[in-house]
Structure 1
Amino acid sequence: MSEQELKLHVPMAFRASVLREMKQREVARVRLHAMYFDTPERELARARIAIRLRQEGAEWVQTLKMPGADTITRVELNHPRPGPILDLSVYAGTEQEAALAALKGELGLRYETDVQRLLRRVRTRQGTVELAYDTGILRAGALELPISELEFELVSGRPAAIFSLARKWQQRHGLVLDPRSKSERGDALAQLARRLEDVDAGAEAEREARRAEAIARFWAPRAAAPVRLEPGMSAPQAMARVAAECLDQIARNASVLAEVDTEGVCRAGNSEHVHQLRVGIRRLRSAWRLFDGWTGPVPASLLDDMRRHFAAFGANRDQDVLNETIAPALARAGMPMLPAESAAPQEDARAIAGGKAFQSWLLNLLEWSLDVPAAEAPASGAPPARRARGADDHAPEPAIRLEGGPSSSAAARVPAIIPLQAAQPDPASLRKLLARRLRRWHRKVAEAGLRFAELPLAERHELRKRGKRLRYGLSFAESLLPAGRLRDYRKLLSHVQDVLGEINDLALARDHYAARTAAHPEAWFALGWISARLDELTAEARRAFQDLAHGKPFWK
């Protein structure tokens, strides 16, 4: 069977208020102790399968879980057990049998959860939702993580029911979207426990540094992951898959910044999490432009909120670049030390990531991504819908066509109707659409890039954004394009992006230090160094764009 559920983390400051609201209606309370199994080489986790034995009150249940059709859907197989005895024979004849039969290692206990669960059902206009408030511990070896999460599971009705209810609770209690399941968190904790055991067995002189490195890897920033599109996909289906990947990158970095695992203990989030979160937003924005005109319009509220949050995180990112990249480079060049840098942004990244406004946007984005609308066909007699900027697609032939000119004969005025035939899927259609649009984006980037030295600052900045859009668009379409040509082209485009990125960072730093020259004459050193470096980079950018313009085309 499958289930649809949404899981939100409950921050420490709101746990009492969530508990009070849960108890305003009749609730059921149950103690859950679960044991999760895998092989030493994590074969089940790598196959995205989780198997557990869970004691639910006085009963034992064996459960297999794996991802379903979309982000909120899980396949779940439950079997009552007489005790804590794992029995794989219950999966004989199921779709999961082959994966389990292929296991090479021996299954063993990897991690456990010990949870107190409060259950309550809520009826809405869209359906019935079961709320499960879990508090407790996730344990792997000697390591523990707190569990404090509220699950919204659809009992009956439409998925809109869980989103409408989750939004209300999120706004009242500051809930945070956490894409990780308990099994994913447990598997990561078990890996950390194993790494730390290996570290403790090593040389004492290196032990602390290696422990710190292992712990940092546990909360490492979530970088972009490949997206695999299938040739027969429709544009909305492809957009949904791309959006799910971008949202996952955004939400996972946001959850670390919001201290889902570390609240009250340490701050695991850092400047790289902010950077990768903003990369996820840029990728999503690029995807919306890539599929513009082939899917329904993105709601204006999603776009407006995206710009606002991107700018807010950007203020944090700019400060990080100054402190962590530019200032150290200037110090190495011999610049005299300046007093403390400018004040931190008005709102820090942690507050933004865990804030109600940003988390509300994530929920709205997740709901939209589950059902990306198709582009609307123009009504009869209406002008065609706005074409996507940069699109060069041909409109489809009409299924019904009037033939014949004016005539006094009644028979001649009767239109001939061409029967409507089911469109035959063109397996190359998605590839052709994407390649055509990316080719146009390439041409615009290359043409402007060859004039880079003459471009004013504003146009250079716009060119940089176009280059990023092209780079992300290529990453979304790469599974449909020639791999060899794409690999060479990506190297050329990556070089362009590296040069433009440094130019952009230096332009921001130049404005910063120019504002400080009146009070601190030492800042003139920075302006001179930055000016010289920008001249070098301008020449390098010209060469990089020439290589890009004359590189082998990726779309053939």
Structure 2
Amino acid sequence: MAAFASLAQRPIMSEQELKLHVPAPARAGIEREIARGTATRVRLHALYFDTPDRELARARVAIRLRKEGRQWVQTLKTPGGHALSRIELNHERPGPVLDLSVYADTPVAAVLASLQGELAVRYETDISRLLRRVRTRHGTVEIAYDTGWLRAGDLALPVSEVEFELVSGKLDAVFDLGRRWQHKFGLVLDLRSKSHRGDALANTAQTLGAIDPEASGATKQRAKEIARYWAPQGAGASPLHADMDASQALRAVTYECLEQVVANAVPLAEVDTAGVYCAGGAEHVHQLRVGMRRMRSAWKLFQGWTPGPSEALVQQARALFASFGESRDADVLQDTVLPTLERAGMPALKLPPSESTVDAGALAASRDFQGWVLDMLAWTLGLGHDAQPAVATSATANDNAAPGTVSAQVEIIPLSAPPVPTLTELLTGRLRKWHRRLVSEGERFLSLEAEPRHELRKRGKRLRYGLAFAEPLLNAQRLRPYRKQLSEVQDILGEMNDLYVAQEHFEVLSAGHTQAWFARGWIVARLDTLGVQAQSSFHTLGEIKPFWK
């Protein structure tokens, strides 16, 4: 919908804003901070429209009527040029009347003309907004603190968020303020818009409304549907296409991974649910770590072709990943390994409390993690100040020249420029190299010690994620059987990794719990069986028709 920007004589705006959730302890401080300048307060009541089948949402279009004080304004929004950008068409209205005729000669007209269902109010917001404009060295930013409710049917969610919208200047201005306020008040990044949250809430309300409250199991079914609203989020579709260069591709896949990280951090940080409902759990931690692991795999995949994030961001990612991992290991032991051992005949064993001091929810909401997330978002948008390799000048390049010699910088233009590899050629070449190394080491798996096996597992994950990133550029028919076999390898190595972690735990417990001796013996036997299976599975992977041809 970026084509809106070329239309003349239209009430068109390009909105660029960063939105952060304000936890309850920070709300009074945020109000005081905004009130330090010239602030205004306005009441906003908005009605959002769609068809019963969500045709507008599926087309990535949002239409609302909003009463701003005494004035009604009709707004249509579509995605803009980047993740924080939206294209808006605004029209003042004499009252709460939706007028689609104002879009007759716009690019969205085709979408509206193709609607099969009737438009109706799907959800609404009731917001009190506190506004203030701030000038920074990079530009002017409007700060809007919104509190209130989002409603769909009988369901409601609280709204407590601060938006930093660019009025003029560079987008850096938004991030400068956002970082400062995030660190000062402990704010939490939420990439969902109000329309995103409202559409999901309306889906839940519609599903709950169809459940007969008198039917058997209705209570459990309702609880399941409510939990689905905050369900853990897996990886999204690869955003790559063949005409991207390496820099565009790396930033695009990094942002997609960041979306997965943030989407799972939001329930853990209790953005919607503080003090009301426990939404975040072990699977959110797992999917958050998957998103971080995929991100780090992407940086390895593109290494040497285009600059990645700064070393400081990379090291932060490694440390945060390890911290979330402490919480994850305890969950796997309690929820996966222990039940398996009890089914195998081990007498019931109550594990002592985990010695891990990591609270996944507190870590997800922490200033360190949220600061890293904000910095990564800025990097995906091409902002920030990562150092680039310096280009030597004639003075520095020839410091070692012999005294009295003339040394000049001479440029030679070749007869013809070497061909620039396409993104597809770059990715297939590197993935082929990763495949060959993985299979070569995997076919001697039984001779490897525990640490090399662990490294092999990480390389297998890296290859799997790399294939997922490159999927739009590869032959789907060849890729399907290869990925299926690689997944089998990963399942075996994943189980082995969980058992290695459990083995260390039960070795500590064996002094005071006889059941731990059963666990240690069973784990050793299971690891031996899995080791044979792993080597065989690696051999089969090497025999599959190559995906890169």
TM-score (structure 1 length as normaliser): 0.91
Does residue 227 (structure 1) correspond to residue 238 (structure 2)? The answer is yes
Partner residue of 2:8? Answer: none
Task: Give the deviation of 1:17 after TM superposition.
Answer: 1.1
Cα drift, residue 419 of structure 1: 8.7
Instruction: Give the secondary structure class of the aligned counterpart of 1:515.
Output: helix
Secondary structure at the residue paired with 1:536? helix
Q: Indicate how the Cα distance of structure 1 residues 482 and 270 shifts in structure 2: closer, same or farther if over 3 A, else same.
A: same
Classify 1:39/1:451 alpha carbon distance in 2 versus 1 (closer, same or farther; 3 Å). Answer: same
Q: 1:312 to 1:449 in 2, by over 3 A?
A: same
- Residue pair 2:394, 2:409 contacting (<8 A) in 1 also: no
Q: Is the 8 A contact 1:296 1:374 kept in 2?
A: no
Query: Using the alignment, how far apart are the partners of 1:381 and 1:547 within structure 2?
Result: 56
Across the aligned residues of Structure 1 and Structure 2, the Cα RMSD in angstroms comes to 2.2
The verdict on how the C-alpha distance between 1:198 and 1:458 changes in structure 2, with shifts beyond 3 A counting, is same
Q: Is the 8 A contact 1:120 1:130 kept in 2?
A: yes
Indicate conservation of the 8 Å contact 1:236/1:374, yes or no: no
Q: Please name the residue that 2:138 is paired with.
A: 126
Structure 2 CA distance for aligned equivalents of residues 347 and 21 of structure 1? 32
2:289, 2:67 → 1: CA distance? 42
Specify which of 540, 543, 547 is matched with residue 540 of structure 2: 547
Q: Distance in 1 between matches of 2:454 and 2:505?
A: 17
Q: Which amino acid counterpart does residue 15 of structure 2 have in structure 1?
A: E
Deviates more, 1:428-437 or 1:53-62: 428-437
Q: Name the aligned partner's letter for residue 245 of structure 2.
A: S
Tell me, yes or no, if the aligned pair for 2:310 and 2:387 is still in contact at 8 Å: no
Q: Which residue of 2 aligns with 1:241?
A: 252
Deviations 1:440-479 (A, max 9, x none): 0101111110011101101000000000000001100110
Is 1:99 the counterpart of 2:92 in the alignment? no
Q: For residues 447 and 382 of structure 1, what CA distance do their matches in structure 2 show?
A: 48
Equivalence map 1:191-202=2 (5 Å):
191-200=203-212
Aligned counterparts of 1:383 and 1:88: Cα–Cα separation in 2: 65
Q: CA deviation at 1:554?
A: 0.5
Q: Quick check: 2:239–2:256 contact (8 Å CA) kept in 1?
A: no
1:6 maps to which of 10, 15, 18: 18
| Offset, 1:522 | 2.0
In structure 2, relative to structure 1, the CA distance for the partners of 1:47 and 1:420 (3 Å cut) is farther
Give the corresponding residue for 1:393: none
- From 420, 429, 433, the counterpart of 1:436: 429
CA–CA distance in structure 1, aligned partners of residues 57 and 180 of structure 2: 33
One-letter amino acid of the counterpart of residue 17, structure 2: E
1:380 CA displacement = 7.3
Deviation at 1:339, TM superposition (A): 3.6
Q: Which residue of 2 aligns with 1:370?
A: 381
**3-state secondary structure, aligned to 1:522:** helix
Measure, in 2, the Cα distance between the counterparts of 1:452 and 1:250: 32
Aligned CA distance change for structure 1 residues 82 and 441 (closer, same or farther; 3 Å): same
Per the alignment, residue 321 of structure 2 pairs with 310
Q: Greater CA deviation, 477-486 or 289-298?
A: 289-298
SS of alignment partner, residue 526 of structure 1: helix
C-alpha distance in 2 between matches for 1:522 and 1:450 = 35
Q: Which residue of 1 aligns with 2:5?
A: none
Amino acid at match of 1:115: I
Quickly say closer, same or farther: Cα 1:43–1:335, change in 2 above 3 A: same
Give the Å deviation of 1:102: 1.2
Change (3 A) 1:68 1:376: farther
- Given candidates 288, 293, 306, the residue that maps to 2:304 is 293
* 2:49 corresponding residue in structure 1: 37
Which residue matches 1:448? Answer: 441
Q: Are 1:71 and 2:64 an aligned pair?
A: no
- Pairs aligned (count): 525
Match of 2:363 in 1: 352
Aligned pair partner of 1:160 in 169, 172, 178: 172
- Asked if the contact 1:3/1:76 (under 8 Å) is kept, the reply is yes
Distance 2:246 2:175 in 1: 25
8 Å CA contact retained: 2:142, 2:166: yes
8 Å CA contact 2:39, 2:132 repeated in 1: yes
Kept in 2: contact 1:293–1:375 (CA 8 A): no
Identical columns (%): 58
Instruction: Report if aligned partners of 1:232, 1:425 keep a CA contact under 8 Å in 2.
Output: no
SS of match in other structure, 2:88: strand
Equivalences for residues 102-113 of structure 1 within 5 A? 102-113=114-125
Task: Find the counterpart in structure 2 of residue 403 from structure 1.
Answer: none
Aligned to 2:457: 464
Q: Post-superposition shift, 1:279? A: 0.2
8 A Cα contact 1:296 1:376, kept in partner: no
Q: What's the CA shift for 1:153?
A: 0.4
Distance 1:546-1:419 versus aligned 2 partners, 3 A rule: closer
